Amino acid sequence: DLESAQFWVTETGPGSDYHQWIYGIRLIQNGWFIAQLGVKYSNDGGVTWEEYVLKSNLTRGEDIIMPLESLQVPENALVKIHVVVIAGKDRTGSEVFEADYSYYTYWGSYIAEYEIKGTTGDPKLTYNGIYIDPN
């Protein structure tokens, strides 16, 4: 029932705050600029944040799926997407997840999916939800 489901969601998450566990991040690049996928991550509950940017240029129409481990995110760290827009305004997602390299469902691994679009001066980063990667 709904009450039990709400209890499960709030009581089974890591730490005192619940954060969705994810294995990786997917970025769909539909902007009129060059973008680089990055992350911000925290090992101290969000007090301080480190940044890592993958030095791979994405152009309009490309997308990339990267495991958090490949983005230098330590397991169990809090993580949010950070997109570098070359010669433009960078964007950081407001959603906070927890890195879990072993968290798979029967159907695959949980991937946080984002899309970036717009122009160099006004890029828009949108969270599309959780994508289940069957690989």
At 114 the pLDDT is 99
At 68 the pLDDT is 96
At 129 the pLDDT is 96
Q: Are strands 109-119 and 24-32 parallel, antiparallel or unpaired?
A: parallel
At 104 the pLDDT is 66
At 63 the pLDDT is 96
What are the 10-residue block averages of pLDDT along the chain, 135 residues in total? 37 54 97 98 97 96 96 96 97 96 78 98 97 84
In whole angstroms, give the CA distance from residue 67 to residue 90.
21
Fold designation for 2-133: Immunoglobulin-like (2.60.40)
Q: Identify the three-state secondary structure at position 128.
A: strand
Domain boundaries, the chain: 2-133
Q: Tell me how far CA of residue 91 lies from CA of 30, 63, 126, in angstroms.
A: 14, 16, 10
